[in-house]
Amino acid sequence: MPGRQLLMTFPVTATSHLLAAYRERGGYETLRRVLTTMKPEQVTKEVAASGILGHGGAAFPAGRKWQVIHLDDGQPHYLCANADEGEPGTFKDRWILENAPHRLVESMVIAGYALQVHNAFVYIRGEFDLPCRRLQAAIDEAYDAGLLGERIMGSEYSMDLVAHRGAGSYVCGEASGLLTSIEGRKGYPRNRPPRLTVRGLFQRPTVVNNVETLSNLSVILAMGGEEFRKIGAPKSPGTQLVSISGHVAKPGVYELEFGYPVKKFIFEDCGGVLGGRGLKCIVPGGISTKVLTGAEIENVTYDHASFAKAGSGLGSGGMIVIAEGTCMVRLLQVMVRFYHHESCGQCTPCRDGMGWMHKLIDGIVEGRGRREDLARMEAIALANDGTTICGMGDACGYAVTGILAKYRDEFEYWIANGRSKFDGRLEVAEAELAHA
CA distances from 240 to 77, 220, 256, 257, 259 (A): 28, 14, 5, 6, 10
* Angle of the 392-417 helix axis to the 348-365 helix axis, nearest 10: 20
Q: Is the pLDDT of residue 426 over 50?
A: no
Q: Look at residue 431 and tell me whether its pLDDT is greater than 80.
A: no
Pairing of strands 206-210, 252-257: unpaired
Residue 395 pLDDT exceeds 80: yes
Q: For residue 279, list its beta bridge partners.
A: 323
Domain boundaries defined on the chain: 19-229, 232-323, 328-435
Judged against a pLDDT cut of 80, whether residue 5 lies above it is answered with no
pLDDT at 277: 94
Confidence label for 425 from pLDDT (cuts 50, 70 and 90): low
pLDDT at residue 228 tops 70: yes
pLDDT, averaged across the chain: 94
**Which of the 8 DSSP states describes residue 128?**
-
Split at pLDDT 50, 70, 90, the class of 8 is confident
Q: Work out the average pLDDT over 192-205.
A: 96
User: For 303-345, how does the pLDDT look when each residue is reduced to its tens digit (9 = 90+)?
Assistant: 999 999 999 999 999 999 999 999 999 999 999 999 999 999 9
What pLDDT score was predicted for residue 168? 86
Does the pLDDT of residue 433 top 70, yes or no? no
Q: What percent of the chain has pLDDT over 90?
A: 92
Answer yes or no: is pLDDT of 429 > 70.
no
pTM for the predicted model, two decimal places: 0.93
Residue 108 has pLDDT above 90, yes or no: yes
For residue range 292-310, what is the model confidence (pLDDT) as tens digits? 999 999 999 999 999 999 9
CB 237 within 8 A of CB 221: no
328-435: what fold?
Answer: de novo design (two linked rop proteins) (1.20.1440)
As a whole number, mean pLDDT of residues 180-196 equals 95
Please give the pLDDT value at position 424.
Answer: 57
Looking at domain 232-323, its CATH architecture is Roll (3.10)
According to CATH, the topology of domain 19-229 is: Rossmann fold (3.40.50)
Q: C-alpha distances in angstroms, 419 versus 356, 368, 376?
A: 21, 10, 20
How many other C-beta atoms can be found within 10 angstroms of the C-beta atom of residue 128? 23
Instruction: Give me the percent of the chain exceeding a pLDDT of 70.
Output: 96
Same fold, 232-323 and 328-435: no
Residue 266 has pLDDT above 80, yes or no: yes
